[in-house]
């Protein structure tokens, strides 16, 4: 199963759900990783401040993987509004003024 995660809050919820799916307490998962229960609580609460290396360790301990994917449709930058001002001709010129 693949899950799109767009924020640290979503990652937090999914880490907790993964741990519970494996019927592990924070203390038990911490033992697998060599960290205390309080560290596991911090990681679940705010995964945005954990190192990528430690996040990968947590994911692997939960039998999960990190998958980076590009969207099938690229996100487009917002377009600049069209210039609706009338163009003036420069005296003696043949085209609109810049």
* 54, 42 Cβ separation under 8 angstroms: no
> How do residues 46-91 score in pLDDT, each as one tens digit?
998 899 999 999 999 999 998 888 877 766 666 656 555 655 665 6
Cα-flanking dihedrals φ and ψ of residue 89, to 5°? -90, 140
The token pair at 26 is 């924070």
> How do residues 22-53 score in pLDDT, each as one tens digit?
999 999 999 999 999 999 999 999 998 899 99
DSSP class per residue in 41-56? HHHHH-GGGS-HHHHH
* 25, 33 Cβ separation under 8 angstroms: no
Q: Model pTM greater than 0.75?
A: no
């Amino acid at each position: 199963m693949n899950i799109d995660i767009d924020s640290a809050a979503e990652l937090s919820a999914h880490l907790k759900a993964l741990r519970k799916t494996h019927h592990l307490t924070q203390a038990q998962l911490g033992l697998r990783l060599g960290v205390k229960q309080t560290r596991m609580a911090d990681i679940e609460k705010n995964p945005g401040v954990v190192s990528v290396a430690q996040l990968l360790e947590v994911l692997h301990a939960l039998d999960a993987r990190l998958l980076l994917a590009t969207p099938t449709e690229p996100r487009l930058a917002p377009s600049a509004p069209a210039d609706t001002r009338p163009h003036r001709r420069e005296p003696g010129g043949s085209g609109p003024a810049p």
